[in-house]
Structure 1
Amino acid sequence: MVYGSKKLHTQIPLTYLLLFSPAVDRDTIIAWYSPLNFFLPQADVFRGHQSGTGAWFLKHKVFQEWKSMSGKILWCPGMPGAGKTVLSSVVVHHLRTNPPTDNIGVAAIYLNHKESVEHSPSKLLAGLWRQLIFRKSISPEIQKLYEDHCEPHTRPSAAEDLAVLRSVVSEYSKVFVVVDALDE
């Protein structure tokens, strides 16, 4: 919101309140809070996969058990160039579409040693938030953070970032997080 006052040509003071449309305001807040958009690498990598890639993995007992449990980590190490990034994108696509539900959140982080400066913990948390908020409303808490930090060009604290992520995670019955290239 922008507040201010102006004088019309007739010298009558005019106080005004400029309200942004919800869509613009939402997009502005999302872009401000989370400059990392992991939807893009997910789409790029998945677009390049061959049909059937990773089907063996999605059917594997270990993956199926991990998918059905909560609070578990599935660690999949491999040599460089083995296809872990493509497999990650297949897993993300599978989790988002089989079955598609608004009650299960799926977020992915694609790390890259060339962009490691951009991958601060704060930005990574915000990148997860951006994906989980995709079809949800912006909370009053994030709107307040925007109002408090946007104009002075500051960033929320780590505690605030964690609170924002916890808030959106609590809106889901289950959340999957896929991290590619954690060692980068």
Structure 2
Amino acid sequence: EQLLQLLSPLDPLKRHADVRSMRLENTGTWLLELDSFRKWCDIESIEENERILCCYGTPGTGKTMISSLVIDHLCPKVTEKTSIVCLYADYRDWDNQTLVHILGSFLHQLLTGATLLHIPDQIIQTLKQVKKPNTQVELGGILAMLKLISPQLDGLFVCIDALDELEPQTRRDLLEVLSNELQLGTKNTRLFFTGRPHMEKEVQSYFNIPQELEVKIIANENDIRHYLSHKIAEDRCANPDAIDEALETEILVSLVARSQGM
């Protein structure tokens, strides 16, 4: 584990735990019920055009919460031959979210997430070299190590939240690597992206994604109503006389009507 820490300073699983703790139960489940999502997450499917699912939405529509829900939904599919890697992009962390660190984080997740995955001796030797002073893992080394792991996997889910928040050149380089992975890597790699709507054209320049696998995210009315009811219930616990049922109904109707998908 100490050697694996050398691969990347990123800790997306901690970020995932933080997001999950903020996600209200039973919200966002509409996505899991879509035929396009069910086809995408069916790792047994061999349809080439069902390997990428993109969810686009404006700020405030819950894309990050959706990402955390998707990752949690996929967790039961993890076996010694099927893995999940994730990234929560953050425009405030460009210095750390470099291509080398992102791919190093993916490799770290692969090696620690699948307990029966064999770590090739070449990887262990490479990391021992990196441990030496004034030495660091380079992009070529990370890609080489990923290629050593790929043959051990029957399936791989790659989930990236807020693609638009990556530094532009880093994003383009990452999309290029992932495009090559679909063509040459693990035989059943699945990609999941969320991002703002302007990302659609850029993503399409790397992948030929059918329209039915591009989902527009707007805040679901049932999710909004559920969230507001939850917050009102919290306020009522603190002050039972603060909001009566009539006022609660009025608040719900008004705010849901004014939400406009936000």
Which TM-score band applies after superposition, normalised by the shorter structure? 0.7 to 0.9
Q: Post-superposition shift, 1:101?
A: 2.6
Contact kept, 8 Å, 2:3 with 2:131, in 1: the verdict is: no
CA contact (8 A) 1:37 1:130 kept: no
Verify the 8 A CA contact 1:103 1:174 in the aligned structure 2.
yes
Q: Which of 86, 106, 109 in structure 2 is aligned with 1:131? A: 109
Q: Are the counterparts in 1 of residues 28 and 69 from structure 2 also a CA contact under 8 Å?
A: yes
1:46 aligns with 2:24: no
- Structure 2 unaligned runs (5+)? 166-262
The range that moved more, 141-150 or 103-112, is 141-150
Q: Mapping of 1:66-81 within 5 angstroms?
A: 66-68=40-42, 69=45, 72-81=51-60
For 1:31 and 1:112, locate their aligned partners in 2 and report how far apart those are by CA, in whole Å: 21
Which consecutive unaligned segments of at least 5 residues does structure 1 have? 1-26
Distance 2:138 2:4 in 1: 17
Matched residue, 1:13:
none
Cα deviation, 1:154-176, whole Å, max 9, x if unaligned, reads 22332211121222232221000
Contact 2:107–2:146 at 8 Å: present in 1 too?
Answer: yes
So what's the TM-score if we normalise by structure 1? 0.79
RMSD of aligned residue pairs (Cα, Å): 1.6
Among residues 87, 91, 98, which one is paired with 2:66 in the alignment? 87
Deviates most, 103-112 or 66-75: 66-75
Query: Aligned partners of 1:165 and 1:36: how far apart in 2?
Result: 17
With structure 2 as the length reference, what TM-score do the two structures score? 0.56
Whichever residue aligns with residue 95 of structure 1, its letter is L
Identity %: 29
How many Å separate the matches in 1 of 2:6 and 2:20? 27
**CA separation in 2, counterparts of 1:141 and 1:82?**
44
Q: State the partner residue of 1:122.
A: 100
Distance in 2 between the 1:102 and 1:137 partners?
9
Is the counterpart of residue 182 in structure 1 residue 160 in structure 2?
A: no
Distance (Å, rounded) in 1 between the aligned partners of 2:66 and 2:34 = 13
User: Distance between the aligned counterparts of 2:32 and 2:18, measured in 1?
Assistant: 20
Whole-Å separation in 1 of the counterparts to 2:36 and 2:146: 28
Matches within 5 A, 1:59-70: 59-68=33-42, 69=45
Aligned residues between the structures: 157
Verify: 1:108 aligned to 2:81, yes or no: no
In 2, Cα distance between equivalents of 1:171 and 1:35: 25
Contact 2:89/2:163 (8 A) holds in 1: yes
Cα offsets for 1:121-167 (capped at 9, x unmatched): 11000111111111245431221112222213222332211121222
**Aligned residue number for residue 173 of structure 1:** 154
Q: Which residue of 1 aligns with 2:139?
A: 158
4+ residue segments displaced more than 4 Å: none
Q: Structure 1 residues 137 and 29, CA, compared in 2 at 3 Å: closer, same or farther?
A: farther
Q: Which one of the candidate residues 12, 29, 36 is aligned to 2:10?
A: 36
For 1:115 and 1:53, the matched residues in 2 are separated by 28
